[in-house]
């Protein structure tokens, strides 16, 4: 049985909970898996976790902007990058995203992030770092397409240790337990099995 994990796709930023807000300029996109394998209860945990991570940033048009995409058999932008600049509203709307279920088209979610969510039309700012945090159980419907999408200018990292997406097949799509893989960009999360 797979354990739901949070996979972080990013460009060199690690979010660590603290009492101090992260004061940086970034466009942060949460990509949340709401497939059938995640389940409704775990999806609620995913949303709460995303809202808590978002709450660590200074949210404004001049600092960090947060957007949210969700995916299962389809991909949908729930919150555009530029749309919410009040943290309490942002957290509220993240927690209100409905669960749908369905397949796990991670590859479509990654392509959607690159081609749609991280565009000027949807609030992406030129010259500002783009960060995508993918929260999934790791079981894509199509391993090959997911790895190809992840190789498109996306890197896996944790604590400034970058693991290029060439490790995708072995790590991202693995059903192996992920204990001890902290150095490869994987976090174990408090989700139900």
Tens-level pLDDT at each residue, the chain (193 residues): 233 333 333 322 334 444 456 778 889 999 999 999 999 999 999 999 999 999 888 899 899 999 999 999 999 999 999 888 888 999 999 999 999 999 999 999 999 998 999 999 999 999 888 888 888 887 888 888 888 887 765 434 322 223 333 334 434 444 443 333 333 343 333 334 3
Q: What is the C-alpha to C-alpha distance for residues 181 and 184, in angstroms, rounded to an integer?
A: 5
DSSP codes joined into one string, 153-172: T-EEEETTEEEEGGGHHHHT
Q: What is the C-alpha to C-alpha distance for residues 106 and 139, in angstroms, rounded to an integer?
A: 8
Q: What is the C-alpha to C-alpha distance for residues 140 and 138, in angstroms, rounded to an integer?
A: 6
Fold of 24-188: Rossmann fold (3.40.50)
pTM reported for the whole predicted model:
0.73
Q: What is the C-alpha to C-alpha distance for residues 66 and 87, in angstroms, rounded to an integer?
A: 9
- What does DSSP assign to residue 49? H
- 115 Cβ neighbours under 8 A, 6+ residues apart: none
> Structural domain boundaries of the chain?
24-188
In sequence order, the β-bridge partners of residue 186 are 7
- What does DSSP assign to residue 110? H
Q: What is the C-alpha to C-alpha distance for residues 109 and 180, in angstroms, rounded to an integer?
A: 27
């Amino acid at each position: 049985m797979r354990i739901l994990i949070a996979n972080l796709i990013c460009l060199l930023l690690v979010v660590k909970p603290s009492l101090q807000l992260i004061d940086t300029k970034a466009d942060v996109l949460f990509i949340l898996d709401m497939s059938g394998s995640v389940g409704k209860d775990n999806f609620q945990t995913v949303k709460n976790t995303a809202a808590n991570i978002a709450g660590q940033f200074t949210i404004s048009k001049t600092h960090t902007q947060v957007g949210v995409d969700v995916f299962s058999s389809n991909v949908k932008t729930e919150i555009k990058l530029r749309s919410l600049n009040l943290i309490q509203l942002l957290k509220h709307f993240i927690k209100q995203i409905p669960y749908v279920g369905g397949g796990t088209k991670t590859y479509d979610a990654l392509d959607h992030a690159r081609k749609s969510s991280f565009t000027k039309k949807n609030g992406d700012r030129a010259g500002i770092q783009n960060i995508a945090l993918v929260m999934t159980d790791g079981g894509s419907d199509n391993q090959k397409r997911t790895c190809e999408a992840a190789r498109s200018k996306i890197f896996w990292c944790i604590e400034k240790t970058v693991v290029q997406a060439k490790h995708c097949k072995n790590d991202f799509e693995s059903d192996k337990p992920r204990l001890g893989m902290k150095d490869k960009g994987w976090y174990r999360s408090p989700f139900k099995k």
